[in-house]
Amino acid sequence: MLIVMRSDARTEDVEKVIKVIEALGFRGHAMPGESRTAIGVTGNRGAIDPAHFENLSGVAEAIRVTKPYKLISRDLRPEKSIVKVGNATIGGSELAVIAGPCALENRDQVFATAKVVAESGAKFFRGGAFKPRTSPYAFQGLGIEGLQMLAEVRDQFGLNIVTEAMDEHGVDAVAKYADCVQIGARNMQNFSLLKYAGQIEKPVLLKRGLSATLDELLLAAEYIMAEGNYDVILCERGIRTFAQHARNTMDLSIIPAVHRLTHLPIIVDPSHGTGHNYMVTPLARAGVAVGADGLIIEVHPCPEEALCDGAQALTPGQYLDLVQQVTALHELVAEPAAIAAG
Amino acid sequence: MLIVMRSDARTEDVEKVIKVIEALGFRGHAMPGESRTAIGVTGNRGAIDPAHFENLSGVAEAIRVTKPYKLISRDLRPEKSIVKVGNATIGGSELAVIAGPCALENRDQVFATAKVVAESGAKFFRGGAFKPRTSPYAFQGLGIEGLQMLAEVRDQFGLNIVTEAMDEHGVDAVAKYADCVQIGARNMQNFSLLKYAGQIEKPVLLKRGLSATLDELLLAAEYIMAEGNYDVILCERGIRTFAQHARNTMDLSIIPAVHRLTHLPIIVDPSHGTGHNYMVTPLARAGVAVGADGLIIEVHPCPEEALCDGAQALTPGQYLDLVQQVTALHELVAEPAAIAAG
Amino acid sequence: MLIVMRSDARTEDVEKVIKVIEALGFRGHAMPGESRTAIGVTGNRGAIDPAHFENLSGVAEAIRVTKPYKLISRDLRPEKSIVKVGNATIGGSELAVIAGPCALENRDQVFATAKVVAESGAKFFRGGAFKPRTSPYAFQGLGIEGLQMLAEVRDQFGLNIVTEAMDEHGVDAVAKYADCVQIGARNMQNFSLLKYAGQIEKPVLLKRGLSATLDELLLAAEYIMAEGNYDVILCERGIRTFAQHARNTMDLSIIPAVHRLTHLPIIVDPSHGTGHNYMVTPLARAGVAVGADGLIIEVHPCPEEALCDGAQALTPGQYLDLVQQVTALHELVAEPAAIAAG
Amino acid sequence: MLIVMRSDARTEDVEKVIKVIEALGFRGHAMPGESRTAIGVTGNRGAIDPAHFENLSGVAEAIRVTKPYKLISRDLRPEKSIVKVGNATIGGSELAVIAGPCALENRDQVFATAKVVAESGAKFFRGGAFKPRTSPYAFQGLGIEGLQMLAEVRDQFGLNIVTEAMDEHGVDAVAKYADCVQIGARNMQNFSLLKYAGQIEKPVLLKRGLSATLDELLLAAEYIMAEGNYDVILCERGIRTFAQHARNTMDLSIIPAVHRLTHLPIIVDPSHGTGHNYMVTPLARAGVAVGADGLIIEVHPCPEEALCDGAQALTPGQYLDLVQQVTALHELVAEPAAIAAG
């Protein structure tokens, strides 16, 4: 159920509605919008009688929801969410660029890359300390030591840190050292992890699973939000298809679909999405042109020596050129006329 | 086998090499490039001895080919092919826009749409006279009567005509009335049709099959070219995947892959590629941003009354806005710096 | 529209109904069943008023059809169709085994294989004279010469011949020399070819396209039947997926789905369905166990020398063993109790 | 690296080799086979010099491994593994039938179902206490209370219990109450969970992910085994494809592929694999015919009232009929001649 408050409803009215929801044994999620607040109700298995709410002060409407999702919905929050990550934001008018190496390898590599990322004007640094690897015998990451390096990068370069957590212990560690917890594609339906990430106070970057439908992606976000953490950023990173010329098939049509259904921002990952150095820049341009809120890009001072996914990493020069291209594109695409038409 | 001629080779040298190839029972395909001509040899099942050619006048090199394709290859022709379609071209510096209704329905619809397309500055008009329909009971197109309307559209608006042929009789008819024969996704591996289309003197627009790999697409083009028709334009129109939020999944990573391997131009079809009106413009932008040589777009004066695929057709207003957006984008992307980086 | 005749309707009644249908400008397809005849109406775009028929002599019911298919439907014909192919049948209580080489290569290969197939007790021989090959430079088949060999095989071994046609000329040739015209996976939506095959008087083996949905397969059969040829046999031969351990992914769940919706028989092709010799027998067993009406199997006297698809061909010894295994399995599965449960 | 011991090697020889491995900082995994023991070495990132081992007592050979997996490999253990689950086994000559409801709902449902399962002669009971649900608002399972019911089922009916764990706490709880820990498809690449499950002393049933390749499935098993738990059973449960007539597409060709590469047993899940009641029995037959070591089947006393996946649950009568059919089939398929040929 969604409860839409009147535009003149007072804070006390909202609080009162939430108390009534809680008294019924459910949970209320207040989402302030530009002109009014909407309150999502979760925790109920069946329908709730709107009569509980319609005479409360400040309530405009109580709407029964038949869609499988509530909190991610544009019905609950018509305006796009702008998610604060450290001292910057994702989802607003600016294109978010998150860049860095696939895996953190050593201080030299990390700081050399961070220098390039800072120079490019990007506000976010990525780098894996805990690496989900298909083989148990592949490099699994530097762990806590890597997180500590990332914290140094933030201090030294003013970059906001995005890095992956693979389990509950990882979520705690990442939440301590970094600004945004990434949940990887292989964990998109690790529901226990989603619930855990819903209880922290850092934003979550949720990558689409390799064979996740749009609904499954949105419901994974809903898992996090139902626990009270509304700061979710989605990420398209390619899906698994029969096509073998790229490592994955980027499904850019999900960007307008996500923007239509939900208020959450969505970024694209052309590095994992293609797996080939020469495809990253063209697909980054395509991602910006289709309307994504940002990019996540792998860059490595020396891709041929990377311990992980070197084939898709950009050199510093390629990366700086990419940023220049997508910045120009984003200015063009973000003009009101273009947005209106999209 | 590929025979690369010296940059100072004379026309007679090229002709002599082709005579030798034919004397061996094979077929020679001369492909003049900017600085030199290369000659592809087809018709051989096994390897040919390079000794047959290396002492002929004007020959720089005879190269054994181990890849499955020859004529489409950048090895044969390093420069991009610019295909002439009527009085315009596809593959050059200009973005080709092909627009019109999915199916030709009646004179009013055809001429109303053509007027909008001409106004937009596009140089190509599309419209199906022969329609491949999943059900035998669905509208199958106006046939020859439709082709005659298309010829009138060319005369009246100066638009070059692109339309589909589904069989040999259709190829003959389309070649007679139109400027470019389209082979649809469902016929991409109709090898008899490909061979037949290889024998006409009109360019062929070859759409990627719903589950075609990159190699299969390129080899389908090779079928046409092996018969002597080198004017082939490829088209990405979405592939079939598990994802259901769009009618197909557009695989834009094939654009840089095609440009890397082959000299042929490739355009994208965001109308069939997405199947949803609201996705067409964002994906058209993405297609241009990724580096496609053109777009094929469905526009209908009244989409809700369309006999075929109305859900994906743009209104005239939406279409004109799309052209404006992609024109600006193409200017930006086509700058040398951008191309170099891609 | 379906018109269901009463069980005591006379032949004249059926003929009269068809005349009325034709007088309305449509086409009537009489399908005699065990206890009653049903008549499908095609050619109409919109709904037809049942009042035209309900007072005619012998008519039990006139039913409006909202499904996309009519003639393939169990509504039209509740009993399974048993299709006559030469002097044998497919779809009845016996398991149909169609075996032979992928491509006909020469007399020795063809007759050596036919001898093994005849010895195994199979009643059908397959072998490609016209080969759809991904590359224009691969072996394209022996053509008419191959068809003539097949006709000799029929005379000498009493085997019924199944072979592929790729275009209209091929359909004519195959219909002349063989007992059953195969339409390959890549032509499943070559609608012109389907219509042409609907006009011959030989049964058609229609293979599922690599990315065809169940509906698309059934509507492709409907294309053939709407032209008047009701002798269609479907074939599951694997679909294209991300999985790479087999050449295709056999989708055996389509067998019970086809049996539920349609009266047409369906066989499976574990040779193309897997692409690996060692998988053919296990998947053939699975196909029989799931309820398929037959198998189509590639066997070659010397698989490692095959000009086409040698990796999946069985040796004569492996093939004879397969037939033994599936015969035993079919006896078990075909018991009434098992069928009832399936 | 694999170290193959001589057939006359003594226990002390094996222990000595493992000590040397550990002294090098790696981990040794002894796998006793019928005639000899092989020892896998894990924990090394690069190549190890075979010279460390080739002169040790009892060592026949030290083999460098270039494949991505070691412990699952037939190279390490040529005989099939027979995994003990409670008082029964999976992987031996008997077909393992694991049956029960999708989700545990209440005592009545659980015990009514267990009675039917025991009557059928099956030795394993399944039922979800922790349910991975796409929506956070769907029924999430009875939790510990459900596990306690399962333990009662074991006591009362002598059935061995298989149930899913979704996180580390769940693994501990399931390992305490049940006989086999199931890791679901959505967690197949939850590497933290795999490692944790590798440290318990109960067998693990590992379901293939919705878009997992063969290699990824085998490496997920390798993750568990690399921690020391060698009792892994694989499960094919359908993959995600474009086909929509079944909930998933069962990929039965993976069964012979798994048997060829690895010594681990593999079972099939036709309930999740198809999602439709009427397909479960035919696909169960197909799974047994293709050579699977067992089946996992959903049965519910009243499918139309099931809280989860009722559409695919069999009624008790359908289930008993299925067991009868597959038992007869398994006897036929398991005859030595059939196995040899497969």
Contacts of D42 in chain A (CB under 8 A): 136-137
DSSP state of A185: G
Mutation target to probe the D interface, by most D beta carbons within 10 A, among B242, B245, B247, B248 is: B242
Q: Residue B337's pLDDT is what?
A: 47
* Count of CB atoms situated within 10 Å of the CB of A43: 15
**Nearest chain D Cα distance for residue C80, angstroms:** 18
Contacts of A240 in chain C (CB under 8 A): 242
**Nearest chain A Cα distance for residue D327, angstroms:** 35
Whether the pLDDT of residue D46 is over 80: the answer is no
The one-letter amino acid code at B342 reads G
- Taking only the tens place, the pLDDT of each residue in B327-340 is 999 999 987 544 44
Q: What is the mean pLDDT of residues A176-201?
A: 97
What are the tokens at C175?
Answer: 């219909």
- Taking only the tens place, the pLDDT of each residue in A32-60 is 887 888 898 888 766 788 888 888 899 98
Whether the pLDDT of residue D298 is over 60: the answer is yes
Q: Residue A340's pLDDT is what?
A: 40
- Considering just the CA atoms, what is the radius of gyration of chain A in Å? 21
pLDDT averaged over chain A? 92
Query: Neighbours of A (≥3 Cβ pairs closer than 8 A)?
Result: B, C, D
Task: Give the angle subtended at the CA of B31 by the CAs of B27 and B33, to the nearest 5°.
Answer: 160
Query: What topology does CATH give the domain A83-341?
Result: TIM Barrel (3.20.20)
Cα end-to-end distance, chain A, whole Å: 30
Q: What's CA B95's distance to the chain center, in Å?
A: 13
Q: Residue C49's pLDDT is what?
A: 81
Nearest CA in chain C to A243: C242
Q: Which helix (H) or strand (E) holds C278?
A: helix C277-290
Whether the pLDDT of residue A341 is over 70: the answer is no
Cross-chain residue pair B193–C167, CB shorter than 8 Å: yes
- Taking only the tens place, the pLDDT of each residue in C192-239 is 999 999 999 999 999 999 999 999 999 999 999 999 999 999 999 999
The one-letter amino acid code at B56 reads L
Q: What is the mean pLDDT of residues A177-182?
A: 98
Contacts of A269 in chain B (CB under 8 A): none
Whether the pLDDT of residue D201 is over 70: the answer is yes
Whether the pLDDT of residue B183 is over 80: the answer is yes
pLDDT averaged over chain B? 92
- The residues of B whose Cβ lies within 8 A of any Cβ of C are 42, 44-45, 68-70, 132-137, 139, 166-168, 170, 186-187, 189-193, 195, 209-211, 215-216, 219, 222-223, 226, 240
Whether the pLDDT of residue D65 is over 80: the answer is no
**Nearest chain B Cα distance for residue A73, angstroms:** 16
Whether the pLDDT of residue A338 is over 50: the answer is no
| Contacts of residue A130, Cβ cutoff 8 Å, sequence gap at least 6 | A140, A141, A143, A146, A163, A164, A165, A166, A170
On the CB side of A321, how many CA atoms lie within 13 Å of its CA?
17
What are the tokens at A10?
Answer: 């007072």
Among A42-56, C129-143, C287-301, C303-317, the minimum mean pLDDT is found in: A42-56
Of D73, D65, D80, D69, the C-alpha closest to D33 is D80
β-bridge mates for residue C103, sequence order: C128
> B74 or D214: which carries more pLDDT confidence?
D214
Q: What's CA B288's distance to the chain center, in Å?
A: 16
Mutation target to probe the C interface, by most C beta carbons within 10 A, among A242, A244, A247 is: A242
Rounded CA separation C125/C156 (Å): 12
> A164 or D26: which carries more pLDDT confidence?
A164
3-state secondary structure C289-329: HHCCCEEEEEECCCHHHCCCCHHHCECHHHHHHHHHHHHHH
Confidence of residue A7 (pLDDT cuts 50, 70, 90): confident
**Nearest chain B Cα distance for residue D240, angstroms:** 6
pLDDT averaged over chain C? 92
> C38 or B256: which carries more pLDDT confidence?
B256
Contacts of D311 in chain C (CB under 8 A): none
Nearest CA in chain D to A166: D192
Helix, strand, coil % over all residues of chain B, rounded to 5: 40, 20, 40
Nearest CA in chain B to D210: B242
Rounded CA separation B166/A331 (Å): 43
Ramachandran region, residue A91 (left: φ > 0; alpha: ψ -120 to 50; beta: rest): left
Q: Where are the alpha helices (DSSP H) in B44-167?
A: 107-119, 144-157
Among A56-65, B130-139, C257-266, D45-54, the minimum mean pLDDT is found in: D45-54
Q: What's CA C295's distance to the chain center, in Å?
A: 11
Contacts of D242 in chain B (CB under 8 A): 240-242
What sign has the CA pseudo-torsion A60, A65, A67, A71? positive
Ramachandran region, residue C138 (left: φ > 0; alpha: ψ -120 to 50; beta: rest): beta
Among B135-149, C26-40, C228-242, the minimum mean pLDDT is found in: C26-40
Nearest CA in chain C to D325: C338
pTM: 0.91
Q: What is the mean pLDDT of residues C67-94?
A: 92
Rounded CA separation C117/C128 (Å): 15
On the CB side of D20, how many CA atoms lie within 13 Å of its CA?
20
Mutation target to probe the B interface, by most B beta carbons within 10 A, among C134, C167, C195 is: C134
| Contacts of residue D332, Cβ cutoff 8 Å, sequence gap at least 6 | C328, C329, C332, D338
Whether the pLDDT of residue B55 is over 90: the answer is no
The second-level CATH assignment, the architecture, of B2-63 is: 2-Layer Sandwich (3.30)
Rounded CA separation A62/A68 (Å): 17
Q: What is the mean pLDDT of residues A289-297?
A: 98
What sign has the CA pseudo-torsion B182, B187, B193, B198? positive
DSSP string for B311-322: GGPBPHHHHHHH
| Contacts of residue A234, Cβ cutoff 8 Å, sequence gap at least 6 | A206, A208, A217, A221, A258, A262, A264, A265, A266, A267
Question: Hunting for tokens 């499976």 — which residue is that?
Answer: C268
Q: Residue A45's pLDDT is what?
A: 67
Interface predicted TM-score (ipTM): 0.90
Q: Residue B45's pLDDT is what?
A: 67
Q: Where are the alpha helices (DSSP H) in B120-167?
A: 144-157
Question: Hunting for tokens 């691969």 — which residue is that?
Answer: C138
A194 — phi, psi (to 5°)?
A: -60, -45
Contacts of C68 in chain B (CB under 8 A): 134-135, 137
B3 — phi, psi (to 5°)?
A: -115, 120
Confidence of residue A202 (pLDDT cuts 50, 70, 90): very high
Cross-chain residue pair C219–B166, CB shorter than 8 Å: no
Whether the pLDDT of residue A135 is over 90: the answer is no
Confidence of residue C127 (pLDDT cuts 50, 70, 90): very high
Q: Residue C69's pLDDT is what?
A: 82
CB B180 within 8 A of CB B162: yes
> C156 or A68: which carries more pLDDT confidence?
C156
Rounded CA separation C21/C42 (Å): 9
* Residue from the list B243, B260, B279 with its beta carbon closest to the beta carbon of A213: B243
Whether the pLDDT of residue D33 is over 90: the answer is no
Cross-chain residue pair D139–A216, CB shorter than 8 Å: no
Residue ranges per structural domain of chain A: 2-63, 83-341
Ramachandran region, residue C252 (left: φ > 0; alpha: ψ -120 to 50; beta: rest): alpha
Q: What is the mean pLDDT of residues D177-190?
A: 98
Whether the pLDDT of residue C339 is over 60: the answer is no
Q: Residue B240's pLDDT is what?
A: 97
What are the tokens at B64?
Answer: 């054994």
Q: What is the mean pLDDT of residues A263-279?
A: 97
Question: Hunting for tokens 């074939």 — which residue is that?
Answer: C235
Q: Residue B64's pLDDT is what?
A: 78
Nearest CA in chain C to B217: C134
- Taking only the tens place, the pLDDT of each residue in A72-107 is 998 889 899 999 999 999 999 999 999 999 999 999
CB B300 within 8 A of CB B268: no
Q: Residue A339's pLDDT is what?
A: 42
Whether the pLDDT of residue B50 is over 90: the answer is no
DSSP 3-state assignment of C72?
Answer: coil
CB D98 within 8 A of CB D122: yes
Nearest CA in chain A to D67: A135
Q: How many beta-carbon pairs under 8 angstroms link A with B?
A: 157
Rounded CA separation B7/A73 (Å): 64
**Nearest chain D Cα distance for residue C292, angstroms:** 10
Whether the pLDDT of residue A323 is over 70: the answer is yes
DSSP state of D303: G
Task: Give the angle subtended at the CA of C31 by the CAs of C30 and C33, to the nearest 5°.
Answer: 140
Mutation target to probe the B interface, by most B beta carbons within 10 A, among A211, A253, A325, A335 is: A253
Q: Residue C67's pLDDT is what?
A: 74
DSSP 3-state assignment of A326?
Answer: helix
Q: Residue A66's pLDDT is what?
A: 66
* Residue from the list A42, A186, A216 with its beta carbon closest to the beta carbon of D189: A186
Q: Residue C45's pLDDT is what?
A: 67
Q: Residue C66's pLDDT is what?
A: 66
Of C301, C226, C222, C298, the C-alpha closest to C262 is C222
Q: Residue B66's pLDDT is what?
A: 66
Whether the pLDDT of residue B129 is over 70: the answer is yes
Q: Which helix (H) or strand (E) holds D88?
A: strand D88-90
* Count of CB atoms situated within 10 Å of the CB of C87: 11
Cross-chain residue pair D190–A226, CB shorter than 8 Å: no
